[in-house]
Amino acid sequence: MYRNFCYLVLLGLFFSCNIRHNTSSENGYESLDISGISVDTIRYASGYTVTPYDGYASVEVRDPWHDGKLLQRYLLVPRNKPLPAGMPAGTVVRVPIRNIVVYAAVHANVLDELGELDHVAGVCESRHIKIQAVTDRIKAGHLHDLGKSTSPNIEKVIEIGTEAIIASPFDNGSYGAAGKIGIPIIECADYMEADPLGRAEWIKFLGLLTDKSERADSLFREAEANYLKYKKLAENAVCRPKLMTELKYGATWYVSGGESYMARIFKDAGADYLFGYLSGAGGVPLSFETVLEKAIHADIWLLTYNRDDEMTYHALRADFALYEQFDAFRHQRVYGCNVNRKLYYEEVPMHPDYLLAELIALFHPDLLPEHNFRYFAPLKE
């Protein structure tokens, strides 16, 4: 049950996002140098801004649940420099951060890609982390398991010399004792971005925190170039298959709203997402009858799940016999991603190009005939 709860939370991170208008310039990148901190102009992400000042940089994270308010203001000051005079109110973070505690696997994966795992001192929920480099370091005793993110081992957090905690914020959420010990909590609200490239652009924030801006910019630009290339390719699709997604949990079937991150990727991949008409950027709860009425004739059914074994048509029938009523089931056009075995939630946020290519290859095999599938596979009987 606990694993299923964690899976639903991860699913919620994909569903939940907030729409904001992007006012960034469309004219390339403007490289800035802020007292040794290099940043690129933010072009897609709407959830944070970076402003250079003499001797420090101010990173403002917008409150995605309350328009016009700030969630946090971080004042990034080089660790070998004195605090500048006249700084505004905010959380001072000495950069680059050396001892980091990470609450979410997605951010552990980003730090791994930035080459910063040596500076990750602890993680939460380690039994749910599948990143090989992280699990190897835990086994070797180089990285500490701090327990649940909702109630981490505070004594150990302090003992290992934690300089900052990287966490995913929630509306009206609390960090409990961790928020009272004076260690900066970096609230990365990347999962609230509706634009796939906007979410990926949060890698630049982590690059600033770790003095890996050049690496972060390089990774983002590669993802951006690939995403835009694949999106352009999908525009040549002759037809758009009707798409349904996910499964029923209890009495409720959650689907992504039409303004959501996932709805955007489905559209860019050349699919007719059958629930794109629903307003909202988060997960929309529907009854089975509503989903059946709308999606009974869907061409393709995509689902993510968390199991020790692979999902099959037999397992779907056993879970809920009425799944058989969908055309996608009867014609064996169901494709699943087992997040217990695939790094789907860890990789896709910063590499939406991976998922976009995968979906195009699935929806339009003629456009990417040589694609090697990374996440999804057809269900077996």
Residue 112 sits in the same domain as residue 145:
yes
The per-residue pLDDT for 236 is: 87
> Looking at the 3D structure of the chain, how many domains does it have?
2
The per-residue pLDDT for 38 is: 64
Structural domain boundaries, residue 278 = 235-378
Q: Where a domain ends, among 211, 227, 243?
A: 227
pLDDT of 19 > 50? The answer is no
Residue 188 sits in the same domain as residue 257:
no
Residue 70 sits in the same domain as residue 99:
yes
pLDDT digits over 78-101, tens only? Answer: 999 999 999 999 999 999 999 999
pLDDT band at 279 (very low <50, low <70, confident <90, very high): very high
Task: State the average pLDDT over residues 176-205.
Answer: 96
Angle at the Cα of 93 from the Cα atoms of 89 and 99, rounded to 5 degrees: 155
Q: Which two tokens stand for residue 15?
A: 């569903």
pLDDT digits over 319-355, tens only? Answer: 999 999 999 999 999 999 999 999 999 999 999 999 9
Residue 176 sits in the same domain as residue 319:
no
pLDDT band at 275 (very low <50, low <70, confident <90, very high): very high
Residue 38 sits in the same domain as residue 157:
yes
Q: Where a domain ends, among 173, 206, 227?
A: 227
Task: State the average pLDDT over residues 204-221.
Answer: 96
Three-state SS string over the chain comes to CHHHHHHHHHHHHHHCCECCCCCCCCCCCCEEEECCEEEECCCCCCCEEEEEECCEEEEEEECCCCCCCEEEEEEEEECCCCCCCCCCCCEEEEECCCCEEECCHHHHHHHHHCCCHHHEEEECCHHHCCCHHHHHHHHCCCCEECCCCCCCCHHHHHHCCCCEEEECCCCCCCCHHHHHCCCCEEECCHHHECCHHHHHCCHHHHHHHHCCHHHHHHHHHHHHHHHHHHHHHHCCCCCCCEEEECCEECCEEEEECCCCHHHHHHHHCCCEECCCCCCCCCEEEECHHHHHHHHCCCCEEEEEECCCCCCEHHHHHHHCHHHHHCHHHHCCCEEEEECCCCCHHHHCCCCHHHHHHHHHHHHCCCCCCCCCCCCCEECEC
The per-residue pLDDT for 17 is: 41
Query: What is the percentage of the chain residues whose pLDDT exceeds 70?
Result: 90
The per-residue pLDDT for 282 is: 86
Residue 297 sits in the same domain as residue 213:
no
pLDDT band at 3 (very low <50, low <70, confident <90, very high): very low
Residue 240 sits in the same domain as residue 320:
yes
- The CATH number for 108's domain is 3.40.50.1980
Contact 199, 193 (CB under 8 A): yes
Task: State the average pLDDT over residues 55-81.
Answer: 95
Residue 200 sits in the same domain as residue 305:
no
Q: Which amino acid is at 343?
A: L
Cα separation, 235 vs 362, in Å, equals 15
In a domain, 7, yes or no: no
Q: Where a domain ends, among 172, 196, 227?
A: 227
